[in-house]
Structure 1
């Protein structure tokens, strides 16, 4: 079954997501991230095996995950509590900061 409006809908959703992210402020996110550094490191690299790396993740992914923690769609003993206090603007700013960190990958030698 084909949905003739699906392409237009997808385009609209992408536009809205990008417009929403446009108000994100990476500098504010950097300031907010000081509280995240204990688990996620000052550079966005997790400080323990159970703490994910946030550096270099896409803004969309980070926003979605933090909103899911905040809204109860995703649960973690610590993140659920921390995220419940975050506003949408703070989430966007944190995502802007972590996604702006550039990471590199080095393949192992043969």
Structure 2
């Protein structure tokens, strides 16, 4: 049986376009509700001096930081507790949300 190249290309296109593989800032915003008590709605609330402002940070930095909290490479009991159950997709979606914020300090 011959395989049709067009069918393979369509299948590959569907896989690449799959929402599960795309970063979703809207989903990241939904996931960020738990983050808001310390980091604010847009990630720029200076609640305490040792809580970083994360709104407007680089996407790759946020992904790296959350994965490090999840794995324990970054030692912070509060963040480890929150990051422990995040999937790679959750992390990418959160990073997509926070990296798109303007980085302005919230009042």
TM-score, length of structure 1 as denominator length: 0.72
Task: Please name the residue that 1:33 is paired with.
Answer: 32
Stretches of 4+ aligned residues off by more than 6 angstroms: none
Residues 26/80 of structure 1: CA separation in 2 closer, same or farther (3 Å cut): same
Q: CA deviation at 1:104?
A: 5.2
Task: Please name the residue that 2:83 is paired with.
Answer: 83
Q: CA RMSD in A?
A: 1.6
1:38-57 equivalent positions in 2, closer than 5 A: 38-46=37-45, 47-57=47-57
Q: Whole-Å Cα distance in 2 between the matches of residues 73 and 103 of structure 1? A: 26
1:92 is aligned to 2:87: no
Q: Tell me, what secondary structure is at the counterpart of 1:62?
A: helix
TM-score, length of structure 2 as denominator length: 0.73
Task: Please name the residue that 2:70 is paired with.
Answer: 70
Gaps of 5+ in 2: 1-20
Q: Whole-Å Cα distance in 2 between the matches of residues 103 and 74 of structure 1? A: 23
Max Rg structure: 2
Q: Whole-Å Cα distance in 1 between the matches of residues 98 and 104 of structure 2? A: 14
Residues 28/49 of structure 1: CA separation in 2 closer, same or farther (3 Å cut): same
| Paired positions, count | 84
Q: Tell me, what secondary structure is at the counterpart of 1:75?
A: coil
